[in-house]
Chains A and B, each alone.
Chain A
Amino acid sequence: DAGVIQSPRHEVTEMGQEVTLRCKPISGHDYLFWYRQTMMRGLELLIYFNNNVPIDDSGMPEDRFSAKMPNASFSTLKIQPSEPRDSAVYFCASRPINNEQFFGPGTRLTVL
């Protein structure tokens, strides 16, 4: 299996622009997670899905952030409008029911 796939790997944008991050989980995994990692706050869980349904979005920082999972093989995390403080590495992870999570390589987002 190719593992969790994220795109783009790097994104540089200007403040106010819309940013869309993409994730393809491992086939057959029931859960999908979005995390954000910064030096100041460490690894934060933003939202997770079970069988394409959002279960807990309490980690989403504000209404500018939204996430969707239209099918079992694709998810997006959108930031609109983006702000410099959104600069971070965003990770997608997936797992089957038995609890071991597999992480993607991450998307490094820089908002100027």
Chain B
Amino acid sequence: AQSVAQPEDQVNVAEGNPLTVKCTYSVSGNPYLFWYVQYPNRGLQFLLKYITGDNLVKGSYGFEAEFNKSQTSFHLKKPSALVSDSALYFCAVSRRGSTLGRLYFGRGTQLTVWP
């Protein structure tokens, strides 16, 4: 069975501070890992993905994510948060070798960046 855990419903940070949104997964094999962001009244936007190689993945809008195989984690990070980063963030995995690329989502983490 595939599962993705985002342990925090809500993360609050001050603008300019670093932010971390946590994600752990339980998937058979070596999955593909994704982060998506959803702004109010919008669909999901792709931020970044981990396929293989370097454990630090850089994505859109200054976000990056660190893959840790031993801890089965894929935490999203940004060195300096912006108020405009406030949104709902979803971690997702798909099984390697699955042609349809079916996504299994975490429950989401609401990020609030206050001025």
A binds B: no
Interface residues of B (CB under 8 A from A): none
Interface residues of A (CB under 8 A from B): none
